[in-house]
Amino acid sequence: MDPVRNPFCPGAGTPPPELAGRDAVRETVRIAVERLRIGNPTKSVLMVGLRGVGKTVLLDQMRNDAEASGLHTVRVEAPEGRSLPALLAPQIRLALLRLSRVQRAKSVAQRALRGLAGFAKALKVRYSDIEVGLDLEPEPGLADNGDLELDLGALFEEIGKAAKAGGTALVIFIDELQYVEEDELAALISSLHRCTQQKLPIGVVGAGLPQLRGQAGNAKSYAERLFEYPEIGPLSRDDARLALVKPAQAQGVGFTDDSVEKIISHTKGYPYFLQEWGKHAWDVADASPITATDVRRASSEAIGALDESFFRVRFDRLTPLQKRYLRAMAELGPGPHRSGDISEALGRKVTALAPVRNELIGKGMIWSPSHGDTAFTVPLFDEFMKRIIPDDTWKQG
């Protein structure tokens, strides 16, 4: 059918035509930020889930929801290798400039801008990647000690006061939070804690891989009490059906029941894969409704497209030994696997492979659901590893 009208859209952070199955978590966040606005105690929210389950699009949607109800927001993504203060500073500046246009908040927001100037200046030595426009002169003693935890806390406090004066809340949306260094995560958590204790309306909605929960707990033991951790997973059968059927229906196109069943069984309800199968099934079908035969014909193209993009970009970032480690995991099945079993498959000692395991965790390829266990962060990555390294070459090395 006409590819121009194809509604499905596999892609990192690409909003889906139907954001299926996420109403409950959107409501959790709506309640949290509305409570924040009126000064009621509330927990910040860290969404955790595997690659491609839809964390980024959800975060963006929640940000739109918050903006639509008159809250102030900032949005950052933590890439590997940039510091959190450098990411936050320019966004916080913009938020404060917006707040300072609210008459009631003006003077408090300006004080916060002075705080930001001191913050950036004092931390520039340690975090040389901080680049932020300075609108006002720093106020000596305000957020300028040169200690991230202290200064971020002081800055958050000033921002919180400005938001409160403006009768609003500031919600900071942070994607890929698992890449933030432990001391920076600790500073973020303690700054939030400081504001919570004073009932200041500043909150965080974050998203990251499943290891984020443990990382937050390691950074600050009280993180468990400060955050809710909704798990973002594959869609239920009904929601997966909705994600396929509704966007097609809007274009006057149907899916037969068995075609939907087939797609659900291939994709296991993972959003990225649903978009990929939906897209290719649409493209190969000659007419509505899309049938199980269309899905069969589309499957090899959907897998090919995933191999070339979703899986490939991750594979290409790996060293030869990291590839062998993941291939050994794949040999054992979808997982999770005991570290000992993986080492055994490679004929090496667990201790000898500990560094490569740590590197893979750092790259966000694997995580540890419980002590000594190792699991993929990318759904169906085991099958991909077997496709890309089909023979036994990984055993020698």
Ligand X SMILES: Nc1ncnc2c1ncn2[C@@H]1O[C@H](COP(=O)(O)OP(=O)(O)OP(=O)(O)O)[C@@H](O)[C@H]1O
Q: How far is the CB of 177 from ligand X (least distance, A)?
A: 11
Residue 143 binding partner per list ligand X, Mg ion, none, with a CB distance cut-off of 5 to 8 Å that depends on partner kind: none
Return the number of the residue (15 or 334) whose C-beta is nearest ligand X.
15
Residue 62 binding partner per list Mg ion, ligand X, none, with a CB distance cut-off of 5 to 8 Å that depends on partner kind: none
Q: How far is the CB of 193 from ligand X (least distance, A)?
A: 27
d(CA 118, CA 122): 6
Q: How far is the CB of 238 from Mg ion (least distance, A)?
A: 24
Q: How far is the CB of 174 from ligand X (least distance, A)?
A: 12
- Asked if residue 140 lies in contact with residue 162, where contact means CB atoms within 8 angstroms, the answer is no
Return the number of the residue (269 or 271) whose C-beta is nearest Mg ion.
271
Return the number of the residue (18 or 151) whose C-beta is nearest ligand X.
18
Residue 352 binding partner per list Mg ion, ligand X, none, with a CB distance cut-off of 5 to 8 Å that depends on partner kind: none
| Residues of this chain that bind Mg ion (CB under 5 A) | 56
Return the number of the residue (49 or 118) whose C-beta is nearest ligand X.
49
Residue 57 binding partner per list ligand X, Mg ion, none, with a CB distance cut-off of 5 to 8 Å that depends on partner kind: ligand X
Residue 151 binding partner per list ligand X, Mg ion, none, with a CB distance cut-off of 5 to 8 Å that depends on partner kind: none
Residue 22 binding partner per list Mg ion, ligand X, none, with a CB distance cut-off of 5 to 8 Å that depends on partner kind: ligand X
Return the number of the residue (15 or 146) whose C-beta is nearest ligand X.
15
| Residues of this chain that bind ligand X (CB under 6 A) | 9-16, 18-22, 49, 51-57, 243, 271-272, 274-275
Q: How far is the CB of 53 from ligand X (least distance, A)?
A: 4
Task: Indicate the residue whose CB is closest to ligand X.
Answer: 54
Return the number of the residue (92 or 185) whose C-beta is nearest ligand X.
185
Q: How far is the CB of 208 from Mg ion (least distance, A)?
A: 9
Residue 243 binding partner per list Mg ion, ligand X, none, with a CB distance cut-off of 5 to 8 Å that depends on partner kind: ligand X
- Establish how many alpha carbons lie within 13 A of residue 248's alpha carbon, considering only the half-sphere containing its beta carbon: 25
Return the number of the residue (201 or 208) whose C-beta is nearest ligand X.
208
Q: How far is the CB of 175 from Mg ion (least distance, A)?
A: 6
Q: How far is the CB of 259 from ligand X (least distance, A)?
A: 17
Give the list of residues 6+ apart from residue 96 with CB closer than 8 angstroms, or none: 109, 112, 113, 116, 159, 162
CA-closest candidate to residue 365, choices 391, 338, 329, 395? 329
Task: Indicate the residue whose CB is closest to Mg ion.
Answer: 56
Residue 339 binding partner per list ligand X, Mg ion, none, with a CB distance cut-off of 5 to 8 Å that depends on partner kind: none
d(CA 90, CA 79): 16
